Amino acid sequence: MEKDKEKSLEWVIPALITLLNERGKIDFRLLEKQIEYLSSAGVHGFFINGTTGEGPYLTRDEKIMVYKHVREATGDKQLLCAACINPSTDMTIEEIHAFEALEPDFFVAVTPYYYEVPQEVIENHYRRIASASPFHIIMYNIPQCTHNKIEFETILNLTSEHNIRGIKDSSGDFITFSRGHEDVFPEHFSWIQGEDFLDGASLILGAHGLVTGLGNIWIEPYVELYREAKRGNASKVNDNQNKINRLYEIIRVTDGKAIPSIKAAVSLLGRSEKWTRLQSYELSNEETAKVKDVLSDLELL
């Protein structure tokens, strides 16, 4: 644990896509190619088996295999966050045990989902996870998927758990997020933006880092944005945020099919194939053409 204590979650962390072949199986060769691209651009670590990584649709064995491959590919240099998207407290704790030998730097847990639950259940969920976990825990707020938002007061309460080390907020609710800069969080607690549109403003306000799914396509403006924010150069932060906003168009042009769009774009750049775990969730040729146009406009193709 000594090692983990020194690492803190910050900087630019891509939410790695899970590369699949036509039969829906993981393509580890492509996975390495994608890791290589992101690492050489200067990312600080990887967020594995998350929402972008189709984690909820992967088996536990698959999640462990992906994790091991990424660790092998990155060595000990980079920070690895093992996301656990499981609907109940028990299932999450079971997965913690399954990852025990792998010693991820951070174990990232969503709220319960399927059932709508009150905040006290969310709070107890994280307390039980925290006390069961030998790893540092990151809370993952993504109410558009779990439909259980972690309220600001719940976050505050949970900072008292010593091994809850931060929150990744993908809610897109900047009002709640921005309350984090009120110096209310303890020093060991990281405050991570997970909605790409909000990266610039968040880092300027003092957020510790960003996790990005879109960055699988083009990670450079995220790395640049992070650096400029740390220098306090708002104008250059804006320039990079503009690039990210333009990249976001690949999701708008497909009416919100986020994962298929990201995979289509990375495919066009030669580092993925288009297949997703939800087999019928594909882009039409027309939609793929629109994604291509966005990449061309950005001179990525």
Q: Kindly state whether residue 238 participates in binding a second copy, applying the rule CB under 8 A.
A: yes
Q: Kindly state whether residue 21 participates in binding a second copy, applying the rule CB under 8 A.
A: no
Binding-site member from 88, 131, 160, 296 for a second copy (CB under 8 A): 88
Q: Kindly state whether residue 279 participates in binding a second copy, applying the rule CB under 8 A.
A: yes
Q: What are phi and psi of 130, to 5 degrees?
A: -60, -40
178: region left, alpha or beta (phi > 0 left; psi from -120 to 50 alpha): alpha
Taking the least distance from each CB to a second copy, the nearer of 201 and 214 is 201
Whether the CB-CB separation of 143 and 112 falls below 8 Å is answered with: no
Taking the least distance from each CB to a second copy, the nearer of 127 and 188 is 127
Residue 95's H or E segment, with its range, is helix 89-98
* Region of 41-49, 216-224, 230-238, 266-274 interacting with a second copy (CB under 8 A): 230-238
Residue showing tokens 């590919």: 73
Q: Which two tokens stand for residue 61?
A: 């064995």
- Residues that bind a second copy (rule: CB under 8 A) add up to a total of 58
Q: Kindly state whether residue 33 participates in binding a second copy, applying the rule CB under 8 A.
A: no
Q: For the residues of 137-149, what is the DSSP string, one character each?
A: EEEEE-HHHHS--
At its nearest, how many Å lie between a second copy and the CB of residue 172? 6
Comparing C-alpha atoms, which of 151, 85, 86 is closest to residue 121?
A: 151
Q: Kindly state whether residue 195 participates in binding a second copy, applying the rule CB under 8 A.
A: yes
Binding-site member from 113, 185, 189, 191 for a second copy (CB under 8 A): 113
Whether the CB-CB separation of 112 and 93 falls below 8 Å is answered with: no
Taking the least distance from each CB to a second copy, the nearer of 10 and 195 is 195
Comparing C-alpha atoms, which of 160, 161, 237 is closest to residue 206?
A: 237
Q: What are phi and psi of 63, to 5 degrees?
A: -60, -40
Residues that bind a second copy (CB under 8 A): 24, 51, 56-57, 85, 87-91, 112-118, 120-121, 124-125, 128, 144-147, 172, 174-175, 178-179, 181-183, 195, 197-198, 200-201, 204-206, 232, 234, 238, 241-242, 245-246, 255-257, 259, 277-281
